[in-house]
Structure formats: C-alpha cells, structure tokens
Amino acid sequence: MSKLKLAVMISGRGSNLQALIDACAPPGFPAEIILVLSNRPGAKGLDRATEAGIPTKVIDHKNFTDRAAFDAEMTAAMEGAGTDLVCLAGFMRLLSDEFVDHWRDRMINIHPSLLPAFKGLDVQERVLERGARFAGCTVHYVRKEMDTGPIIVQAVVPVLADDTPDDLAARILVREHEIYPLAVRLIAEGRVSIDEKDRAVIAGAVSSEKSVVNPVG
C-alpha cells in the first residue's frame, strides 16, 4: 500500500516537524515526508530535514512582490513533489484564500489552544489572563478564517497555579508532538471524513468518558 506523501511547511525551529520525522521513520507508518518547505533560509527545521535525508526547498517570501506569486510558487513546489497532504508546522505567513481553497481538505495545522477558544497569537498569555483551568492543542484542517476548520485531534493539559506562559507552552508542546503524528496517521489510514456541517468525523474513534476537574480541591 502506498504511503500518504506529506509536505511540511515551516518557518522556524521545526519541533513539530521533528515529531513527524520521528513518527514517519518506522516502516509501518502510513505516511512519509517528501518535502520540507520554508519561507526563511535560516530556519533550523531545514537542518532537521537534511539530517533525516528529506528534500528541502526555500521559497523566501521577500523575493516576491505579491502574495499570490509567492503562494503559486509554493503550490508548484509541493505539487511537483507529489504532495498528498500539506502539514503546517510553525509556518509564520498568512496564506491567501486562493491557496487555502486549492489545498482544501488537503492541508492541516496545529495550534496551541483548544480551538475554537484562543485563536491567534500570544495564546498562553491570554489563557492565564482569563484564568482558564485547562489549555491544550488542536490539529485541524485549514480554512480561510485563521485557526478555524474541522477539528481532527485535541489534547488537554491542566493550567497549574504557578504557571508562566513559557511553562504552559512547554507542557502543551509535548502534547503537540503526540497529536500531530496521530492526526496524520488517521488521515493516512482513510479514517477522517468531512461531514455536511464541515466537521471532521473519525471512523472507529475511541474517546475517553473520564472527566477531569481542575482544581481538585
């Protein structure tokens, strides 16, 4: 059976890229990374890809006069590589509506909150400011509106009384590295579909019925 071909788009250190590289390493994993694309020439994630023997390509957004041309170049590179699924992993550029439409239901993102809560940037600062008792992360399909789209997998972590934004972000990042490969595997196995309400439906999904309370007393 052929593997799902992934293109991973990055702008920085690529920690979620590394999680995907590690997940794809065993022969039995149903996906493989065929291209790592960055808009920043010095992105550390490019080194991670090179060390793993994965082809890389830099498309510097500064070399383009408009976003449409930049997006078209990215699409051409990924289609030329035979991409089935685009994985955004810390890609810090807004995508055009045309680009999102072109890759509809073939592009996923990971966000460090329990969407639809806390979209955008400075997430953990806002979580702490609002006094939320839980935080987490979400893998979702990409839509035109930022941090929207059908939710595939989420993970929850408690907010601790003495948390700083960095503490909380670090604890969430551990879960990000778990759920991004999980989401890719579910898609690669053909278990994810989009229903008429634009929700992701997972075939054979098993959910925990255990509830969690924070604080406990």
Q: Which residues are catalytic?
A: 111
Q: Return the sign of the alpha-carbon dihedral for residues 151, 84, 196, 97.
A: positive
Residues 156/117, Cβ–Cβ less than 8 Å: no
Residue 142, judged by CB atoms within 10 A of its CB (0-12, 13-18, 19+), counts as buried
For 3-40, the DSSP string reads: PEEEEEEESS--HHHHHHHHHH-STT-SEEEEEEEESS
